[in-house]
Structure 1
Amino acid sequence: MAFRFNFFIDENENNEADARDGMDLELRAPKRTQECVEKSKETSSPIVGSSPGLGTDKHEAETPSEKKFCFKAAKEHAVPEDLDKVLENKVMERRWDLYYVNVSAVEMSRLDDADGEGIVSKSVSSHSDLIPGVYEGGLKIWECTFDLIDYFSEAEIQFTDKTVLDLGCGAGLLGIVALKGKAGKVHFQDYNSTVIDEITLPNAVANCIGDRSRTGSGGGGKTQEPPSKRPKKAECSPDALTKCRFFSGEWSEVSRLLSSSNKPFSKYDIILTSETIYNPDYYAALHNTLAQLLDKSGRVYLASKAHYFGVGGGIYLFEKFVEERNVFRTSIVKIIDKGLQRCIMEMAFKDSS
């Protein structure tokens, strides 16, 4: 079954996208944390779990000196037994048939809170959605996410019984669409644990309990649409949450956690990722993670802008990077020429059918 989601981008979202393309992206750095491990720049054929170029700035990458590589430890976030509690004090919005948390309300509620990582207060005080090594943009829904959701319908991508990973998930909308598409398992990963707890997990819960997320019925959430436009029932039930797992941490660390977990782990049939290739410094980390976690006959669907000003990454540079490593074959399956060019890329192992 194919799903059609007709999303629109309002003026505010366009402004956010423009900010990401420009000044804010100059501030955004590779995924890293306070725990650093010294490694040498001379690293050929990096193994999974190592990340040459990760945690360094553009200028450091140009010099053959010793550099610090920083990794944010990975952890799994359990789904609470009380699902209504997850949505407590959350303001829910709805666009067509997807519920999602109003981020502004989360930011307001967390301004004076010690949220573990402190990403909300730091983001607000620095007037930036992107803070190197602290906050990686997961509180926002970037426009390429909508491009990829739209492509699922156009290409009739089938999720039924598939094992799916939403990598760099943020709001988790890509994984939620897969869940609604009857995926067998859906895993969500974001760099920030606060994003998982405050955004991703509530969004997954809201889309599984449906009408209970309305005002006055359980979670205290709200929607922006009149009752006549609200869904009469959710497309997936609370039981669908048993198919989900949620992880925070840097990519290679999450990959290592999955591989060493006592829980059964099977590689992913489909990996979905959007706007994660803005900086070339961590292409190796992403490439290695995809190579380890993708099933031999699986597919990666990646959405990106053609070029990210200020950092220099983009779809064509990443395509060249992948081709040089000769592990995956790539194909640009859709180009969106409205405003700054955006693309959808499909990836698969070269030796797959």
Structure 2
Amino acid sequence: MSFLFNFTPDEDDPEKEADAFRPREDEANTVHKKTRATLSEAKEVTKFCDEELTSKFESLQLEFGQQCLKVVDTRKLGNLILKDEKFRSFADSKNLVAALSSNSDLVAGIYEGGLKMWECGEDLVHFLSSHPVGQAIELKGKFILELGCGAGLPGIYCCSCGAKAVHFQDFNEEVLQLVTHTNATYNITESKEVKCRYLSGDWSSLSQLLQKEKQIYDVILTAETIYSPENYSSLHDVFHTSLSANGVVVVAAKVYYFGVGGGTDGFIEYVESQKCFTAEVVHTIKAAVPRKIILLHRQKSNPGSR
């Protein structure tokens, strides 16, 4: 099923926001076929923008508790990529350029929205920085994976909190090259001993790669990634194969995603059906479409193979 955004959410009008989330009927079949046919093999990304390109970016300052993060203003990045030949040659992706040209924020299985800063990514950082009693997540000295990272705000925040290593994953290699790595460079000084890694590709392939490497994480973070129930299995596999026995998964998402069937209730139901993790809603953000923070821990009876 397709999932295309072309909107600025209207928090004061649920009906307008609902219409914005619904997929375009005339594109549904085409995108659905592409989604099933397109698998992007997981790989490490090591080539990034040089200073000549990043000097053209405009930036924003975002505050989270006592931390202030400098990030690329992605609202203007799309036009820059389309108009500047140097960016076009660097981000040589037909899928990315096609999505930007059609003003689509997300096309499932083709372009996964990484050039847009989504609300739940910021929700996740606010949650981590608020240190809620009984739910505070220890980040210092930990190995952390951010799935579907896009701008990478949660992962970058973890870097600032003394994480040992932060690995950023996004479906689109170009997002990691243009945005994620640039944001990390803005905020991580040489004095901070944190090892960053960048991985592109789909989650099924990622799970296989991480298993092969025997890579384990103490904390897995993900925001706005549960919009499609078709992806729950592959996302859950990454959790199951790559989370330490005492680790935690933090999921930030909307309660429902119009037109595609995903949302927090359906995701929790799926997780519980697999009998590997417990799932608990620990925070709710009131909005026209409410948003929630969910914590996953391994069930004591099913610690996994790690």
Residue from 104, 128, 132 that aligns with 2:108: 132
- In structure 2, distance between residues paired with 1:275 and 1:142: 7
Residue type at the aligned position of 1:280: P
Q: In the TM superposition, what are the counterparts of 1:53-132 in structure 2 within 5 Å?
A: 55-56=35-36, 70-78=38-46, 84=51, 87-96=54-63, 97-112=68-83, 113-114=88-89, 115-132=91-108
Contact 1:164 1:186 in 2 (8 A): yes
- Within 5 Å, which residues of 2 pair with 1:205-216? 205-208=185-188
Q: Work out whether residues 118 and 224 of structure 2, in 8 Å CA contact, stay in contact via their aligned partners in 1.
A: yes
The aligned amino acid for 1:125 is S
Cα deviation, residue 78, structure 1: 2.1
Q: Who is 2:3 aligned against?
A: none
Q: Tell me, in whole angstroms, the C-alpha distance in 2 between the residues paired with 1:297 and 1:131.
A: 35
C-alpha spacing 1:134/1:70, structure 2 compared with 1 (3 Å): closer
Give yes or no for contact 2:74–2:116 (8 Å, CA) kept in 1: yes
Higher relative contact order (CA 8 A, sep 6+): 1
SS in 2 for 1:205: helix
How far did residue 257 of structure 1 move?
2.4
Aligned amino acid, residue 249 of structure 1:
G
What's the CA shift string for 1:268-327, capped at 9, x where partnerless?
A: 100000010011111111111111111111000001111111111100001111111111
Identity of aligned residues (%): 34
Equivalences for 1:310-349 in 2 at 5 Å?
Answer: 310-349=259-298
TM-score normalised according to structure 1 size:
0.71
The number of aligned residues is: 276
| Distance change (3 Å), C-alpha of 1:20 and 1:194 | farther
Structure 2 unaligned residues grouped into runs of 5+ = 1-6
Stretches (4+) displaced over 6 A: 16-20
Cα RMSD after superposing both structures: 2.9
Q: Deviations over 1:71-123 (max 9, x none)?
A: 2112212276x974573322222123111111133212211524222344312
C-alpha change, 1:266 and 1:73, in structure 2 (3 Å) is: closer
How far apart are 1:192 and its partner, in Å?
A: 0.4
Instruction: Tell me the residue number matched to 2:125.
Output: 149
Whether 2:202 is the aligned partner of 1:250: answer yes
Alignment of 1:12-27 (within 5 A): 14-15=9-10, 22-24=19-21, 26=23
| Cα pair 1:159 1:182 within 8 Å, conserved | yes
* Residue 290 (structure 1) aligned with residue 239 (structure 2): yes
Letter aligned with residue 163 of structure 1 = F
- Tell me the distance in 2 between the aligned counterparts of 1:314 and 1:160: 31
TM-score by length of 2: 0.81
2:211 aligned partner: 259
Give the whole-Å Cα distance in 1 for the aligned partners of 2:235 and 2:119: 21
In the alignment, the residues of structure 2 paired with residue 99 and residue 151 of structure 1 have an alpha-carbon distance, to the nearest angstrom, of: 19
Distance 1:178 1:141, change over 3 A: same
The offset of 1:20, in angstroms, is: 7.8
Aligned partners of 1:134, 1:345: CA distance in 2, in Å?
A: 27
- Tell me whether 1:180 sits opposite 2:160 in the alignment: yes
Alignment correspondent of 2:138? 158
- 2:178 is aligned with what amino acid? E
Task: Kindly indicate whether residue 228 of structure 2 is the aligned counterpart of residue 279 of structure 1.
Answer: yes
Shift of 1:151: 1.2
Report how far residue 337 of structure 1 moved.
2.1
Change (3 A) 1:349 1:278: same
**How many Å apart are 1:15 and its aligned residue?**
4.6
The structure with the largest helix share of the pair is 2
Q: 1:15 to 1:194 in 2, by over 3 A?
A: farther
Q: Which sits farther off after the overlay, 110-119 or 335-344? A: 110-119
Tell me the amino acid that sits aligned with residue 229 of structure 2: P
The separation in 2 between residues aligned to 1:258 and 1:25, in whole angstroms, is 34
Structure 1 CA distance for aligned equivalents of residues 171 and 18 of structure 2: 20
Unaligned runs of 5+ in 1: 1-11, 37-54, 57-68, 209-236
Q: Please say if residues 86 and 205 of structure 1, whose CA atoms lie closer than 8 Å, have aligned partners that are also in contact.
A: no
Question: 1:133, CA displacement in angstroms?
Answer: 2.4
CA distance in 1, matches of 2:197, 2:32: 23
Structure-2 change in CA distance of 1:346 and 1:206 (3 Å): same
Between Structure 1 and Structure 2, whose CA radius of gyration is higher? 1
Q: Secondary structure at the match of 1:238?
A: coil
